[in-house]
Amino acid sequence: MKLHPGGRAISEKRKQQNRFATRDDGTGSLAVYDIFTGFTAQVNGIPLDGLDETVAIDVSKLLNAEYIARRKGTTH
């Protein structure tokens, strides 16, 4: 298991399903990024950077949940 920035463990299965993660954005804050492209994630054209740790982790979890559900065909 790997540790999440918040110190919680992430299972290997969960890690393989995820598309979004957090990283330092160079300003002392965190950014949510797409692990496939390396680009900072955006929602409605707004980059997800400059976030505190709690917000960044929560947003990445939400985006991953949506991504997983979309891959399963359970969202519209």
Give tens-digit pLDDT for 37-67: 999 999 999 999 999 999 999 999 999 999 9
More confidently predicted of 48 and 71: 48
Structure confidence by residue, pLDDT tens digits, 10-31: 555 555 689 999 999 999 999 9
Output the six-digit token pair for 40.
Answer: 């900072």
**Considering only CA atoms, which of 14, 50, 52 is closest in space to residue 35?**
14
Tell me the two tokens of residue 17. 């399903």
Selected residue with higher pLDDT from 70 and 55? 55
Closest CA to 68 of 22, 23, 5, 15: 15
Fold of 2-72: ATP12-like (3.30.2180)
Q: Tell me the whole-structure pTM to 2 decimals.
A: 0.74
